[in-house]
Amino acid sequence: MKPKMRIKADEIIQNIRSGMTDEELIAKYHVNSNVLRGIFEKLVDAGLLIRAELSGRASLATDSAIREQPRTRTRHYTMFALPVYDLDDLTVEGYLLDITENGLKVSGLEVKKGQTKSLLVRVDEFADIFPFTLDARCRWVDRESDEHSVIAGFEITNISDVGLAELRNLSRMLALGE
Q: Is the pLDDT of residue 177 over 90?
A: no
**Band of pLDDT at residue 176, cut at 50, 70 and 90:** very low
DSSP β-bridge partners for residue 143 = 150
Average pLDDT value for residue range 77-95: 87
pLDDT in tens, 24-57: 888 898 888 778 888 888 887 777 877 777 766 7
**Band of pLDDT at residue 75, cut at 50, 70 and 90:** confident
- The boundaries of the domain holding residue 37 are 9-68
CATH of the domain at 166: 2.40.10.220
Last residue of a domain, one of 38, 68, 98: 68
Q: Is the pLDDT of residue 175 over 70?
A: no
Last residue of a domain, one of 22, 42, 68: 68
Q: Are 83 and 46 part of one and the same domain?
A: no
Helix extents (H) in the chain: 9-17, 22-29, 33-45, 58-68, 161-173
Task: Enumerate residues 6+ apart whose C-beta is below 8 A from 49.
Answer: 13, 16, 40, 43
**Band of pLDDT at residue 87, cut at 50, 70 and 90:** very high
**The residue type at 119:** L
Residue 3 lies in a domain: no
Residue 135 lies in a domain: yes
Q: Are 105 and 159 part of one and the same domain?
A: yes
Q: Which has the higher per-residue pLDDT, 132 or 46?
A: 132
pLDDT in tens, 13-24: 898 888 888 888
Note the pLDDT of residue 60.
58
Q: Are 63 and 21 part of one and the same domain?
A: yes
Counted domains in the chain = 2
Residue 2 lies in a domain: no
**Band of pLDDT at residue 73, cut at 50, 70 and 90:** low
Note the pLDDT of residue 44.
78
Q: Are 118 and 161 part of one and the same domain?
A: yes
CA 44 to chain centre: 18
pLDDT in tens, 136-173: 999 998 876 555 578 899 999 999 999 999 988 888 87
Residue 125 lies in a domain: yes
Q: Are 20 and 63 part of one and the same domain?
A: yes
Asked if 98 contacts 78 with a C-beta cutoff of 8 angstroms, the reply is: yes
Q: Are 94 and 168 part of one and the same domain?
A: yes
Q: Are 122 and 52 part of one and the same domain?
A: no
pLDDT in tens, 50-72: 777 776 676 554 444 334 444 45
Note the pLDDT of residue 4.
63
Angle at 34 between CA 33 and CA 40, to 5 degrees: 85
Residue 121 has what DSSP assignment? E
Q: Are 48 and 113 part of one and the same domain?
A: no
Q: Which has the higher per-residue pLDDT, 53 or 100?
A: 100
